[in-house]
Amino acid sequence: MIRHTGLTQSLLLLLFVLCLMTLMLASLFIGTYDLTLASVFENEQASMVMLLSRVPRTLAVVIAGGVLGLIGGLSQVVLNNRFAEPTTIGTAQGVAIGLLGTHILWPESPLYVHTLVASGFGLLSLFGFFSIIRQLKLNDPMLLPLIGLIYSAILGAIATFIAFEFDLMQFLMVWLNGDFSTVISGRYELIWGAAAIAVLVYWLANQLNLLNLGEQTGRALGVPFRTLVFIAMIMIALSTSMVVATVGMISFLGLVVPNIVRYYLGDNLKQSLPWSALIGACLLLGCDMLGRYLSNPFELPASLVFGVLGGCFFIWVLYKGEPNV
């Protein structure tokens, strides 16, 4: 494991925080409506656009990117596998089934009810996945993501089937493809719940770190292993459903980002989680800005841009080989 010294690391962190700040500032001035710094202060309509559209959108992207990066990192520790993230272990698909179900059965109920039911389904799908892998002796770390992908595909197929039967395919697409184009004040606030959970995860990071010990060692040392796993699962399911219900899923962000971070920083959650959140937020914001810029005055979903660029970025990081510090 290669580790940076404390000083370079804090400098780097500062650099990335500055990078995120710059991106956020730039994001406030990219969009269809013509905005300049001066007009925001002089023109009433411009300031409204800034406050009701640009600021919420920027925050929503940063929160979604940060939360997904962080939750990916957490899932990887909980499952003790580098390839786990909500879309590869079926959580996002479970959430989608839940959202479809509430949409069909109780279409009139408010969004938070949909989200809570959906997170229940997300949790169920996580339990299902755990009970499957518990039955199996996994000697090869590659087996878990394979099972996860099969499991996700099955849940995804169920979701597709339901959506197809009720002609809700467009809805399913909307949930599984994250898009921030209609994020405005009053339509996205639920995602702050996911942000709160992310803070909670960071607060519990030292405890959650114990999951790295593995079940047997952990329990031998008196760690309430199952309780910790359970808490982590609830947090994963809740935050995934909040993100999916408000802006839609960004596949693989939670896979790519924590792996890049781990590559440099190792497995300590207290150390790696802020980085996962930071890089996730930077990447997603960059993608959303690019989507806004490229097809101006129309929109390109952030998930699409991320799918292309995030993949390339990941391959580039892998290709670069060993970090030389």
Which residues of the chain form contacts with another protein (CB under 8 A)?
Answer: 31-34, 45, 48-49, 52-53, 107-108, 164, 166-168, 170-171, 173-175, 179, 181-182, 184-187, 248, 297-301
| Minimum separation from the CB atom of position 46 to another protein (A) | 10
Q: Which amino acid is at 234?
A: I
Min dist CB 31 to another protein, Å, is 5
Cα 54 versus chain centre, distance: 21
Closest CB to another protein among residues 10, 109: 109
Least distance to another protein, CB of residue 163, Å = 10
- Cβ distance to another protein smaller for residue 52 or 290: 52
- Report the sign of the C-alpha dihedral through residues 191, 107, 234, 160, in that order: negative
- Between residues 104 and 124, which has the closer beta carbon with respect to another protein? 104
- The answer to whether residues 232 and 208 touch, using CB atoms and an 8 Å cutoff, is yes
> Which of 31, 95, 35 has the alpha carbon at shortest distance from 68?
95
DSSP string, 282-305: HHHHHHHHHHHHHTTTS---HHHH
Nearer to another protein, 33 or 41 (CB): 33
Q: Which is nearer to another protein, 176 or 198 (CB)?
A: 176
Find the shortest distance in angstroms from Cβ 184 to another protein.
Answer: 5
In whole angstroms, how close is the CB of 100 to another protein at the nearest point? 11
Q: How many CA atoms lie within 13 A of 143 on its CB side?
A: 9
Residue with tokens 């000697």: 139
Q: Cis peptide leading into 297, omega within 30 of 0?
A: yes
